Amino acid sequence: MIQNRALVQPSNCFAYDSIYWLNKIFWTCLVIGALTVGIAHPVYAQNNEIQTDFGTIEKMTKSDEEWKKELGEKEFNVLREEGTERPFTSELLEEHREGTYVCAACGLPLFKSSTKFNSGTGWPSFFETIEGHVETKTDYKLVLPRTEYHCARCGGHQGHVFEDGPQPTGLRYCNNGVSLKFKSSDEDAAE
C-alpha cells in the first residue's frame, strides 16, 4: 500500500528560498559592479599616458621586486598589495599645514590640504582629489561593492571613497596615511 506523503515543493522550503535570494543578490551585485567598472576612468592614449583636463600623466610601471627595493614593508603592503594600515596610526592625522599630499610611491600630487577634514575614522580623509590624479575601481573584498581608488601614475593603492563626506562634494576619500607624503607650501616654493 502506498502512503500519501506531502511533497515538499522547493518554493516552500526555507533553505531553497535563502539560496535563491542569495544567488539573485550575488548576480545583481556582480552585474552592477561590472557596469560601473570604467566609470570615472580617464582616457588612455596609445603611448601609456593618461589624458586629463589638466594635461598628460605618463603611466609608471615597475616590477614587484623594483617596488620592494624602493618602499618599506608597510608601504609595499598597502600600495602594491592593497592592504590597509591600522586606524589612528598615521602621523598625517595631525598634519594641519598648507600644502599638498602626494603619492608615497611616485610623488604625484593627489590632494590639496584645503580638502582635508577630520572624519573621526582614524585615517586621513579628503573631500576632493586633484582632478585626473586618481583612478577608481570596484572592490568586492568585503562582499558588498566599495569604490577603491589608486594613484593614476603608478597604480599605488590609496584607499576607498564613500558618499558620507562634507559638502561641497559629499565624498570622503579615506586614505591610508602610509600611501601619502606631505609637501608643505614652503617646500613647494623652495623647489
Q: Which residues are catalytic?
A: 174
> Do 50 and 42 contact (CB within 8 A), yes or no?
yes
Q: Quick one: how far is CA 165 from the chain centroid?
A: 15
CA distance linking residue 152 with residue 165, whole number of Å = 22
